[in-house]
Structure 1
Amino acid sequence: MRIGTSFVKNILSHNSTWIAIRNPWLIRSCSAKVSHDHDRTEKFETVFSFPFVRHIATLNRMKFYHIIGTSLAIPGCGLLETLSVLPEYSFLAAAYIGVTGAILFSMASLPLNNTIGFLYISEDNKLIKISSVDFWGRRRDRIVSADEWIPLLDMKQKTMDAIYLSPQLTDGTKYKLFIKFGKVLNSTKMGQVIE
């Protein structure tokens, strides 16, 4: 029984070495998972939530689905128009509606890019976890040091501050923080770290 299990272990170790050599992506994804699990050991407290971030993510995702639908509808209408199934100029109408809709969706979602949905701060106030929505409606979690966050009081005032604040990181990444419409869950901790 021991001979069989050692034989299987040798084959598995040989195969995993071969897989690791053939698939460097596997090594990167496994190492990324380890570092992600390391980040999970740090305890974070939710200090801010923006309940309408789901609607912003839906709007941004609709743009993606519209572009996919347009990329299928335009050639389909062109083919059906060529086969005389659809009336003349169906291809141009589909192209006009598809491109115009994609431009409108993009323009509507561009000001909502990098909207912060949740802010988390570590127990020792040294790390900030930012959960935001990107241009395509995907959630992006980023953990940064509190030193990388430029305090809001150090930034110059803008005309849009009445609607949303524009926090910025030292690497130039800009976010939108709808503090007026969100829920501040721990104002003292939030004030100590981000203001």
Structure 2
Amino acid sequence: MLYSKLHTILRNFSSTVKGNPAEQCRFDHVFSFPTVKYIALINRLKIYQLYATGLVIPSSGLMELCNVVSENTFFISSYIGLTGAAVLTLGTFPFRNIIGHLYISEDDKKIKISSVGFSGKRIDRIVDVDDWIPLLEMEPKKTDALFLSPQLRDGTKYKLFIKFGVVRNPARMSHILE
């Protein structure tokens, strides 16, 4: 509890010291995708699997050398751990860069994109409106019925599940993003 309070104080202090104008402007919440927390949990599961595999494989090897467990324990634990990690990594590959929340600044010049990263952590990115390629300028894709694929000028691609999300301010969202 003390650590979280200290962390909050230091974060607030560092943001005031930095004086980054993009962080200081106010943003309106225009879109949220409630299911993103479950997708983030699945993405975090692969990290936990990799940590557990990294712990179990050497332990089982040492126990096998000390004749505490049977002979094939090292190979079995390696096979199960590495196969599970590979399956989870490949299975969660499509769940990268899913937009969980979109915010638009009050002056309509900045967009704050909150997405899920490879490890399941929230990644907040503030970009100019000019860096967002409007959805109507992009060519239609087969996946548009399920999710839209917005893109930034630097080549970063996201997945936007408007059909399953909650659009909080449709007028502002369509005016800026389309």
**Which residue does 1:12 correspond to in 2?**
none
**Which residue does 2:142 correspond to in 1?**
159
Given candidates 3, 27, 49, the residue that maps to 1:66 is 49
Deviation of the 1:123 alpha carbon: 1.2
**Which residue does 2:163 correspond to in 1?**
180
**Which residue does 1:99 correspond to in 2?**
82
Question: Is 2:22–2:110's contact at 8 Å kept on the other side of the alignment?
Answer: no
Matched, 1:34 2:13: no
**Which residue does 1:48 correspond to in 2?**
31
Distance 1:155 1:186 in 2: 22
SS in structure 2 opposite 1:124? coil
Deviation of the 1:32 alpha carbon: 9.3
**Which residue does 1:84 correspond to in 2?**
67
Matched, 1:194 2:173: no
Unpaired stretches in structure 1, ≥5 consecutive residues: 1-29
TM-score (norm. length: structure 1): 0.81
| 1:33/1:63 CA distance change after superposition, 3 Å | farther
Question: How many pairs were matched up?
Answer: 166
Distance 2:65 2:117 in 1: 39
Q: Residues 7-18 of structure 1 correspond to what in structure 2 (within 5 A)?
A: none
Deviations 1:42-91 (A, max 9, x none): 11100000001101111111111110100010010011111111111110
Deviation of the 1:107 alpha carbon: 1.1
TM-score (norm. length: structure 2): 0.89
Q: Percent identical across equivalent pairs?
A: 52
Question: Is 2:99–2:159's contact at 8 Å kept on the other side of the alignment?
Answer: yes
Distance 1:33 1:76 in 2: 46
Distance 1:176 1:139 in 2: 14
Which aligned runs of 4 or more in structure 1 are off by greater than 6 angstroms?
none
Task: Report which of the two structures shows the higher radius of gyration computed on alpha carbons.
Answer: 1
Question: Is 2:135–2:150's contact at 8 Å kept on the other side of the alignment?
Answer: yes
SS in structure 1 opposite 2:111? strand
**Which residue does 2:10 correspond to in 1?**
none
Deviations 1:3-36 (A, max 9, x none): xxxxxxxxxxxxxxxxxxxxxxxxxxx5896145
Distance 2:101 2:84 in 1: 30
* Aligned Cα root-mean-square deviation (Å): 1.7
Deviation of the 1:124 alpha carbon: 1.7
SS in structure 2 opposite 1:51? coil
